[in-house]
Every structure is written in structure tokens, then in C-alpha cells.
Amino acid sequence: MIEIDFEIKKPEKTPLLIVISGPSGIGKDTVVDGLKERGLPFHFVITATSRPPRENEVPGVDYFFYDKETFEEMIEAGEFLEHAWVYSAYKGVPKSQVRQALDSGQDVVMRLDVQGAETVKALCPDAILVFLTASSKEEWLQRLKDRRSETEEELKLRVQTAKEEYQRLDLFDYIVVNEENKLNRTLDVIEGIITTEHHRVNPRRVQL
């Protein structure tokens, strides 16, 4: 009789912390919404902001919207995993959402600007950072203009900020092209990244 005196190994299921980032107007919201619609088993962290809602944004779904004074009180109380002043408003990630989801064994997906992604990476080196990029400068600028939510001066600020953000690309684990009208291709790549990460021999250990 042949005896097998070793254990058959299988992928170890550990929760991942995935950050979807990139410059303003690159389609972070659209990508996250697409991942949700695919029914992937993850918890999406809703970011808080002190800016007013844009047209079609739903409080508690797209963002938690607070006035500047309330947001500053929450910062003082230590309620955010990370926060920053970005484009004349605060943005922040509530600590409780992230920890509760990870403790339940769920993957966690965050949508953050590059500054926020850098902060999360410093707090949690095993976080997976995905940088979304456009297929061209012209395509990206047109997306910004099509939103019709910024003045000419605000657009110039976003272009300058994006230039600085691209210089931080080495912080990221993956770069994914989010080409106009090719959303499913983008989602396929990100879903593949998540699947691959769940099959690492030495899994990531997220600790916050």
C-alpha cells in the first residue's frame, strides 16, 4: 500500500485590501460600480468627503457627505483610517468599515486618490494598490471636460496634480488601462488580479 505522508496544500483564504486609484476623472467610480455589478464577494468602503454631492451622486452610496466642521470633528476624534485635503475638500476612509469587513473574512475594496493610496500603503504594506490610467492624454482630458463640474482653473489644477500622481507610480502593484468604452476589459483585468492574489503561495496578511 502506498502511503502519502504529507499534507496536500490548497490556497489559503485570507482577506485582501484592494485600493483602486488613479488621477481625477480616470473612471474610479465607474470601475468600482462595475465590480459591484459583477457580484464579486467584497466589501466596498464608502469614502467620506466634505464637498457637496455632484449631480446623480447618492449620499451613503457614492460617498458620505459631511460639512467641513463635522469632518474636522471626526478627524479630531480619530475616526478615519486616512484623510487628506484634496481639491478644496476633505476626503477620508472610516476605520470601522474596513476593520469590520476584514474581521469577517471579506475582501475590502477602496476607491482612493493617489495621496490616500500612499497613506494606506504606509499603514498596511500588504494592501494591493491598482493604478488606473487612460489610453491617451487626450482621452483623459476629454473625460474631465465632459463632467462639466470644474472651472478652467480647477481643470488646470487637476492636470498638474495628475502629473505629480504619475510620478508616484512606483508605489503601486499594478497599472490597468481603463480605456473609454472598454469597461469590461478593465474589469476582467482587475478580477484577474484579485484571483491571482488569492492563489499566492505566501498570502498577503492585512493588518490595520
pLDDT score of 107 more than 90: yes
pLDDT at 88: 83
**Tell me: the pLDDT tens digits for 137-157?**
898 888 888 877 778 888 888
pTM: 0.83
pLDDT at 148: 73
For the segment 71-91, the average pLDDT, to the nearest whole number, is 88
* Sequence-separated contacts (24+) of 135-140 with Cβ below 8 Å: 135/177, 135/179, 135/180, 139/179, 139/180, 140/23, 140/25, 140/26
Q: Domain-by-domain residue ranges, the chain?
A: 17-197
pLDDT at 193: 97
What is the second-level CATH architecture of the domain 17-197?
3-Layer(aba) Sandwich (3.40)
pLDDT score of 59 more than 90: no
Task: Determine which of 49-53, 92-96, 166-170, 186-190 has the lowest per-residue pLDDT on average.
Answer: 92-96
pLDDT score of 200 more than 90: yes
Which residues are CB-contacts of 189 (< 8 A; sequence separation ≥ 6)? 176
